[in-house]
Amino acid sequence: MKQKVFRTLADLRFSIFILLLISCCSILGTIIEQDQSIETYKLNYPLSSPIFGFLSWDVILKLGLDHVYKTWWFLGLIFLFGCSLTLCSFLQQLPSLKIARRCQFFRTTSPFYRLKISTILNRFSWNKILARIKDEDYSIFHQKNMIYCYKGLIGRIGPIIVHFSMILILLGTIVGSLFGFKAQEIVPKTENFHIQNILATGPLTVISQSSARINDFWITYTPTKTIAQFYSDISILNSQGNEISRKTISVNYPLIQNGVYYYQTDWNLIALRIENLKHQIRQYPLLNIFGNSSKVWLTWISSPKIPENGVVLIIDNLEGYCSLYDTKGNFLGNLELNETNNFNQPLTFIEIISSTGLQIKTDPGIPMIYSGFFFLMLSTLLSYITYSQIWLIQRNQKLFIGGTTNRAIFDFELEFFKVIK
């Protein structure tokens, strides 16, 4: 009974079936938005008009389609596929490799007639033929009047490495789903923060309790005034508030601390600090009325004498200036840092208060996934190595010679004709 179950799990058709199921579930996870709020699913998948006649928000939540890759049944399918690959490796691939290493002599002449490439030589020289086979880097085994040769055995290891690499990738996926997390933090410059805004987390995840500080944030621009890169200077602090690590991060260049990655992802402007006539420095909050799709902020500074005759300040960059408009929308000019404007009232532009957007995540399965893809590429290179076999048997002053290969048949034919020439 055990052998029957193991053979079924190791069957190629069963593996393909499980792989198709995983692919279909992954497609569902791609089509349906993952890890969104219940309101989002109620809005996009209403009960009144379910997609395909059955896919409504309550079905999505019941089946866990809002977090497909973390559900027990998806992880179960991955585990089952991994078991299938493991059993296939031990019950089929490794035994076939052992068989390929054995000396497989032809003891009769009948197998030669079943080979696609074979011939019978009436005039021949054993020494010359064996020397030519040896020159082609074949391993030669001789027993009485029979000879067996092979080369490229390492190419037979390719399928085993493919299975091993896929198992590594699957294990990395499971480990990442169980122990990984992802968070998003918007932190003002010079402020300390802890990891609090968790977007996704695994059931066995332990969130890092370390704190960090944003020392500085700035943006570099191209000559055409488009953004070239974002930068954040981050310090990682211990429980006493002392700095233990520091790095300036940018997009695609994160800070890594104890397996936790701090990525630069976004930015925001919070307020402007303006000095008035009385040399009072006041902070005016900025408002983005156009939403996250547009990085344009504005604020209002009223006139001390006539509040209705204030000015609107608009800013869309960190280059150190903002634009002034009156209540009728007329452009009054640009106000640069440490510059004073005398429209209605003297205003001195002191500082832009900005914040940086960080994505903080950890995925302990990443090293396993990368290793799996490395071995997968290695197996692809090994698969180009041709596994070829040649048999010889002498009967009644005739030499029966034939061979076979698993790929590059034309090259093997040329090699074969060179041997018997």
pLDDT score, position 380: 87
CA atoms lying within 13 Å on the CB side of residue 155: 14
CA distances in angstroms from 227 to 8, 216, 218, listed in the order given: 57, 17, 11
How many CB atoms within 10 Å of residue 151?
A: 20
- Residue that has been written with the tokens 């800013």 in this structure: 315
- Residue that has been written with the tokens 């019941």 in this structure: 62
How many CB atoms within 10 Å of residue 225?
A: 8
Task: Name the DSSP class of 327.
Answer: T
Distance CA 374, CA 378 (A): 6
320: left (phi over 0), alpha (psi -120 to 50) or beta: left
pLDDT score, position 187: 93
Residue 329 exposed, middle or buried by CB count within 10 Å (0-12, 13-18, 19+): exposed
Q: Are 391 and 109 in contact (CB under 8 A)?
A: no
Residues 6+ apart with CB under 8 A from 103: 141, 143, 148
pLDDT score, position 237: 92
How many CB atoms within 10 Å of residue 186?
A: 15
pLDDT score, position 344: 67
Q: Are 180 and 361 in contact (CB under 8 A)?
A: yes
pLDDT score, position 87: 86
Nearest Cα to Cα of residue 73 among 62, 64, 85, 84: 64
Separation of first and last alpha carbons in the chain:
55
**pTM for the model:** 0.69
Indicate the pairing of strand 211-221 with strand 192-194. Answer: antiparallel
Bridge partners (DSSP) listed for residue 142:
147
User: In 45-88, which ranges are continuous DSSP H helix?
Assistant: 57-63, 72-88
pLDDT score, position 216: 92
What's the sign of the alpha-carbon dihedral 360, 365, 368, 374? negative
Q: Are 274 and 348 in contact (CB under 8 A)?
A: yes
With a cut of 70, list the residues of the chain below it in pLDDT: 1, 100, 291-293, 307, 343-344
Q: Are 393 and 146 in contact (CB under 8 A)?
A: yes
Q: Are 285 and 270 in contact (CB under 8 A)?
A: yes
Rounded to the nearest 10 degrees, how much is the dihedral formed by the CA atoms of 204, 209, 215, 216? Answer: 20
| Angle separating helix axes 409-420 and 126-135, nearest 10 degrees | 150
Nearest Cα to Cα of residue 295 among 225, 369, 195: 225
Q: What residue ranges define each of the domains in the chain, with the CATH number in brackets? A: 2-96 (no CATH), 105-152+386-420 (3.30.310.80), 164-268+357-365 (no CATH), 273-354 (no CATH)
pLDDT score, position 292: 64
Distance CA 237, CA 217 (A): 18
